[in-house]
Amino acid sequence: MNGVWEWFAWLNQAHGINLPVFYDSYDRQRFFAGLLTTLELSALSVVASVVIGLIGAWLLGTSSIIARRLVHGYVHAFRNTPPLIQLSFLYFAVGNLLPRLEGVGGSSRPLLDGFAWAVITLSLFGGSFNVEIFRSGIEAVPASTIEAAESLGFGRWRLYRHVVLPLALRICLPALSNNLVNLVKTSTLAYAIGVPELLYVSAQVWSDTMNVREMMNLLLVAYVGIVGVLSFGLRRLETALRVPGLGTVGGRI
C-alpha cells in the first residue's frame, strides 16, 4: 500500500498534481473518515426516507382524515422548503431546545449531534418526496386488480401488503431511484452544520494546501462512484423485480 501512497507524492513532485489526501497520513485519515461519513449519512437517510415514504403513502390510503391531514402537512412542509434551511432550522433552533446530556468537565452535550440531525433532516426531506412517489405507484395499480383481490377475500392490510405494494413498488421504482440519487447528493449540505463529510473535509484540505482543482476533481470522481454504485443496485433491483406484462425495464418495451 505504501507504494501507492508514494506514487502520489511523486505525482506531486514530478507533475504538480497535488493530492495530499493520498500521501499525507493526516490528510488521508481525515479524507477517508469523510468518505465513510458520507457513506453512512447516505445509507441511513436512503433507508429511513423509504420507510417514511411507505408509511406516509399507507396513511394517505387510510380512512382516518386526521392521519391524511398530518401526512399532507408533513409533505408540504418538507417538500416545499429548501433542505439547507431545514437543516439549519432543525440543528440551530430545534436542537438547542432539546434536553441535554452531561459531558466531561462540567460541560453538557447536545442530545443529538450534527450527524444525527443531518440524518433526520435528509430522511424527512427525502421521505416527503417518497410519500408522493409511492402514492403515484399505488394510484397506478388498476382498480380491477384491487377489486379482484377483494372478491377473493383479501382484507385491507393483506391487500396492501400482497397486491398493491408489490405492484406499486415496481411502477414507481424509476422515480424512486431518481429521488434517492438526489438525496445522496443533497448529503453534501451537512457541511453547513459542521458534519465532517466529503465536501467538508475536501474544503479543509484545499484551504490548507491550495489544491482546489485537484480536490474538486477528486470530489467529482468520489460522487460519481457513490451514486454509480447506488444506481447500479437500484437498476438490478428493477430487473430482479420485473413482472412480465407490467411496465418496462430501463425503458425497453
Partner 1 sequence: MLSRIAASLLFLLLTITTALAGVDDIKAIQAKGVLVVGVKADYRPWGFIDPSGAFVGMEIDMANEIAKRLGVRLEMVPVTTANRIEFLRQGRIDLILATMSDTPARRQAATVIDPPYYAGGTNILARKSMNFHRWQDLRGRRVCGLQGAYYNRPVAENWGAIIVAFPGVPEAYIDLLAGNCDAFVQDSSLIASTLVSDSAKWADFEMPMETFGEQAWVMAVSAANRDGTFATFLSRLSVEWHRTGHLIELEKNWGIPPSPFLKTMHEKS
Applying CB under 8 A, the residues found at the interface with partner 1 are: 26, 88, 92, 95-96, 100, 103-110, 114, 191-194, 196, 200, 203-204, 206-210, 212
Torsion angle of the four alpha carbons 44, 80, 188, 122, in this order, in degrees rounded to the nearest 10: -10
Q: How far apart are CA 118 and CA 102, in angstroms?
A: 22
Would you state the cell numbers that stand for residue 248, as one nine-digit string? Answer: 418496462
Torsion angle of the four alpha carbons 182, 183, 188, 191, in this order, in degrees rounded to the nearest 10: 150
For partner 1, the closer of residues 10 and 26 by Cβ is 26
Q: Minimum CB separation from partner 1 for residue 186, in Å? A: 16
Phi-psi map region of 194: left, alpha, beta (phi>0 left; psi -120 to 50 alpha): left
For partner 1, the closer of residues 41 and 165 by Cβ is 41
Q: Minimum CB separation from partner 1 for residue 107, in Å? A: 5
Q: Minimum CB separation from partner 1 for residue 105, in Å? A: 7
For partner 1, the closer of residues 26 and 232 by Cβ is 26
- Helices 114-140 and 25-60: crossing angle in degrees, nearest 10, is 40
For partner 1, the closer of residues 194 and 228 by Cβ is 194
Q: Minimum CB separation from partner 1 for residue 27, in Å? A: 9
